[in-house]
C-alpha cells in the first residue's frame, strides 16, 4: 500500500491466541496496513509460532517471546527490527509479558516496547488476591524502569489492562471497584505515564470526554448492543515524538469478525 515516505503505522493487538486467529491477520492488514504489528496473548510456544502466515503478509522481520498456554508477545515488522539490549523480566517470573525492539526507520532507530500487563484477577485487594498484588508490583517496577531511563524516540504500547480515564469505560461509577478501573490502578498507570513523560497517542486524536473502548467482554449476550466496553489497549509515545503523531485508528469492526478476539487492534501513525 503506497503512503507518504517517512510514515510508520504501528498497531497493537491482543490477539488471544495467535494460532487460532492467524487467519484474521490478512483482514487486519487490509484494514490498517501496519508496518509494525505488536501482538499480546499469543499463547504460543516460540517453536509453534505461525511464521509462514506472517511472512506471506510481508512481515519479513519477526521477534517472538512465547510460552505454553498463557501470555506471550510478538513483534511482526516490514522494517528490520532487533532486540533491545535490555529485556527486563518483570517481577522475575519469566512469563513472556514484554518484548523490547529497535525498529529501523528513517533517521535514528525507534525503540518499541510491547507490553502485556497482568490482568490482576477479580478482587481488587492485594492482600486477598495475589494476582492483583502482582499487577501492582509490575506497574511499580515498570514505573521505576521508565524513571531511570527517560524515553526518547520511543513507543510503549500493548494491553496495559487498565482503563485510566472516566470515558475509557462504559460506566465510571459502576466500574470504580472493578479490576481495570479502580483508583489504585488508574493512579499507578498515570504515575507510570508521567514518570516518562509518555504521551497517550490515541487520546491526542480522541479528546478526553469522548467514550473510547478497545475491549468488549465475551460474556455479553450482544457486545455491540450493550456496548459495555473498556479501553485497555494503549499506544504511548515519548514526548519528543508527540509532534510526529499523524493518525490513529481503533478497529472496532474487528470485534465483530468471525471468532474474534475480545480486544480490537489499535493503530497510531507517525511521520518520522
Query: Which residues are at the interface with DNA (CB under 7 A)?
Result: 16-17, 19-20, 43, 45, 68-70, 118-121, 131, 161, 217-219, 259
| Separation CA 162–CA 152 (nearest Å) | 24
> 61 or 65: whose CB is closer to DNA?
65
> 69 or 92: whose CB is closer to DNA?
69
> 77 or 161: whose CB is closer to DNA?
161
CB of 15 to DNA, least distance (A): 10
CB of 22 to DNA, least distance (A): 10
Q: How many CB atoms lie within 10 A of CB 73?
A: 24
CB of 23 to DNA, least distance (A): 11
3-state secondary structure of 192: helix
> 86 or 222: whose CB is closer to DNA?
222
> 121 or 126: whose CB is closer to DNA?
121
Q: How many CB atoms lie within 10 A of CB 217?
A: 11
| Separation CA 66–CA 41 (nearest Å) | 9
Whether the Cβ atoms of residue 202 and residue 269 lie closer than 8 Å to each other: no
CB of 65 to DNA, least distance (A): 15
| Separation CA 179–CA 182 (nearest Å) | 6
| Separation CA 179–CA 175 (nearest Å) | 8
Whether the Cβ atoms of residue 101 and residue 59 lie closer than 8 Å to each other: no
CB of 194 to DNA, least distance (A): 25
Q: Across the chain, how many H-helices and E-strands are there?
A: 7, 14
Task: Give Cα separations from 77 to 10, 71, 240 (angstroms).
Answer: 9, 20, 23
Those residues whose C-beta lies under 8 Å from the C-beta of residue 120, and which sit 6 or more positions away, are: 129, 131, 132, 134, 135, 136, 161, 179, 180, 185
CB of 146 to DNA, least distance (A): 22
Residues pairing with 40 in the sheet: 14, 73
CB of 228 to DNA, least distance (A): 9
Q: How many CB atoms lie within 10 A of CB 251?
A: 18
> 154 or 232: whose CB is closer to DNA?
232
CB of 154 to DNA, least distance (A): 25
Amino acid at each position: 500500500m503506497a503512503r507518504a515516505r517517512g510514515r510508520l503505522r504501528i498497531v497493537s493487538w491482543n490477539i488471544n491466541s495467535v494460532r487460532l486467529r492467524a487467519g484474521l491477520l490478512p483482514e487486519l492488514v487490509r484494514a490498517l496496513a501496519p508496518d509494525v504489528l505488536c501482538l499480546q496473548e499469543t499463547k504460543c510456544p516460540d517453536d509453534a509460532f505461525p511464521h509462514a502466515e506472517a511472512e506471506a503478509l510481508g512481515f519479513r522481520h519477526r521477534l517472538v517471546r512465547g510460552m505454553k498456554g498463557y501470555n506471550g508477545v510478538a513483534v511482526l515488522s516490514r522494517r528490520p527490527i532487533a532486540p533491545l539490549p535490555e529485556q527486563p523480566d518483570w517481577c522475575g517470573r519469566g512469563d513472556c509479558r514484554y518484548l523490547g525492539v529497535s525498529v529501523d526507520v528513517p533517521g535514528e532507530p525507534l525503540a518499541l516496547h510491547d507490553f502485556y500487563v497482568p490482568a490482576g484477577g477479580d478482587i481488587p485487594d492485594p492482600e486477598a488476591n495475589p494476582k492483583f498484588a502482582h499487577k501492582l508490583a509490575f506497574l511499580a517496577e515498570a514505573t521505576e524502569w521508565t524513571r531511570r531511563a527517560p524515553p526518547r524516540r520511543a513507543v510503549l504500547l500493548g494491553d496495559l489492562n487498565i482503563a485510566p480515564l472516566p470515558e475509557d469505560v462504559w460506566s465510571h461509577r459502576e466500574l470504580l471497584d472493578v479490576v481495570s478501573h479502580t483508583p489504585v490502578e488508574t493512579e499507578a498507570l498515570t504515575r507510570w505515564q508521567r514518570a516518562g513523560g509518555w504521551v497517550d497517542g490515541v487520546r491526542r486524536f480522541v479528546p478526553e470526554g469522548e467514550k473510547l473502548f478497545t475491549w468488549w467482554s465475551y460474556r455479553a449476550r450482544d457486545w455491540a448492543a450493550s456496548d459495555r466496553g473498556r479501553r485497555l489497549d494503549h499506544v504511548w509515545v515519548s514526548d519528543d515524538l508527540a509532534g510526529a503523531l499523524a493518525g490513529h485508528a481503533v478497529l472496532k469492526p474487528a470485534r465483530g469478525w468471525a471468532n474474534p478476539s475480545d480486544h480490537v487492534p489499535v493503530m497510531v501513525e507517525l511521520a518520522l
